[in-house]
């Protein structure tokens, strides 16, 4: 995920009254913190974003670029190692593959939102919250004909950001977001508000892009278009990436995590 330093800092300072938050979100936040403490990592995208406004050519910018490149190199090796391991039979199952990923993250101590979502899922499963999944963030744009009510155009853009979603075994649906990279836990509606504030102008550009694509689509069909005849509907899409894995696989994974990394358990102090 890439965001501007101003937007990133605004997210971290998002006004919250921790004592006024629900017990579910407090639990999710505590779980996220335990995961980050157990698997500390430096983020290349964070370095890139934080020092983006630093004057080019300055000693601080040069140093930041060196640190960023070193982290990107480590993350590239980490991900290649995890991808290679998945090709071997002993790492083909979700539990063993995911445990290998955790060991590499711990050794590497570098990662971005992808790695952050993996450690959050590990902590969730270790605590028995196996109805959880990693998520990729998309932004959808639809054009609906106001007269016919038909959807004539629909598309979704990948925003290149990963996190986790869960029900903490207390909800009727998976609607609690844990985002270790941005450092927050919140309900889906609150998370969407945060993402909207972070992406801000980017969403405007996505909407304009899809508006043009819809127009081109119409022109190719030899049709004219009046945008006042259409309602543009937009919103975030939380695309789960672990749907092919059973709850049983995540339970096995959770048991392994709890045994190997007990620091992520909520009933362990620290």
CA angle 172, 131, 248 (to 5 degrees): 135
Give which of 51, 249, 262, 264 is closest to 132, Cα–Cα.
249
Could you give the 3-state DSSP secondary structure of residue 142? strand
- Reported as a pLDDT band with limits 50, 70 and 90, residue 230 is very high
Strand 151-166 to strand 176-179: parallel, antiparallel, or no bridges (unpaired)?
A: antiparallel
**3-state per-residue secondary structure call for 17-30:** CHHHCCHHHHHHHH
**Where do the structural domains in the chain lie, given as residue ranges?**
5-264
The β-bridge partners of 69 are: none
Q: Are 100 and 82 in contact (CB under 8 A)?
A: yes
Query: Residues 34-68: pLDDT tens digits?
Result: 999 999 999 888 777 665 645 566 777 777 788 88
Q: Higher pLDDT residue, 20 or 4?
A: 20
Query: Residues 184-228: pLDDT tens digits?
Result: 999 999 999 999 999 888 999 999 999 999 999 999 999 988 999
Q: pTM for this one?
A: 0.86
Checking if the pLDDT of 142 tops 60, the result is yes
Give which of 103, 50, 37, 114 is closest to 76, Cα–Cα.
114
In what helix (H) or strand (E) does residue 228 lie, and over which residues does it extend? Answer: none
Q: What is the pLDDT of residue 10?
A: 40
């Amino acid at each position: 995920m890439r965001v501007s330093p101003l937007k990133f800092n605004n997210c971290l300072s998002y006004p919250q009254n921790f004592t006024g938050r629900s017990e579910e979100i407090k639990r999710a936040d505590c779980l996220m913190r335990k995961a980050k403490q157990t698997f500390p990592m430096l983020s290349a995208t964070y370095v890139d974003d934080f020092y983006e406004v630093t004057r080019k050519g300055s000693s601080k910018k040069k140093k930041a670029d060196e640190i960023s490149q070193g982290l990107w190199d480590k993350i590239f090796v980490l991900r290649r190692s995890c991808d290679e391991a998945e090709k071997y039979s002993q790492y083909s199952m979700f539990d063993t593959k995911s445990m290998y990923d955790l060991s590499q993250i711990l050794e590497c101590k570098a990662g971005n939102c992808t790695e952050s979502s993996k450690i959050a899922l590990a902590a969730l499963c270790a605590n028995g919250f196996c109805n959880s999944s990693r998520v990729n963030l998309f932004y959808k744009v639809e054009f609906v004909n106001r007269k016919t009510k038909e959807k004539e155009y629909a598309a979704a853009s990948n925003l290149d950001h990963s996190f986790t979603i869960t029900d903490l075994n207390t909800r009727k649906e998976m609607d609690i977001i844990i985002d270790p990279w941005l450092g927050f836990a919140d309900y889906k509606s609150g998370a969407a508000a945060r993402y909207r504030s972070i992406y801000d102008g980017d969403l405007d550009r996505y909407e304009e892009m899809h508006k043009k694509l819809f127009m081109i689509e119409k022109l190719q069909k030899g049709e004219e278009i009046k945008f006042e005849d259409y309602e543009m509907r937009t919103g975030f899409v939380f695309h789960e990436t672990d749907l092919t894995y059973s709850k049983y696989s995540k339970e096995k994974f959770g048991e392994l995590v709890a045994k190997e990394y007990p620091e992520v358990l909520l009933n362990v102090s620290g």
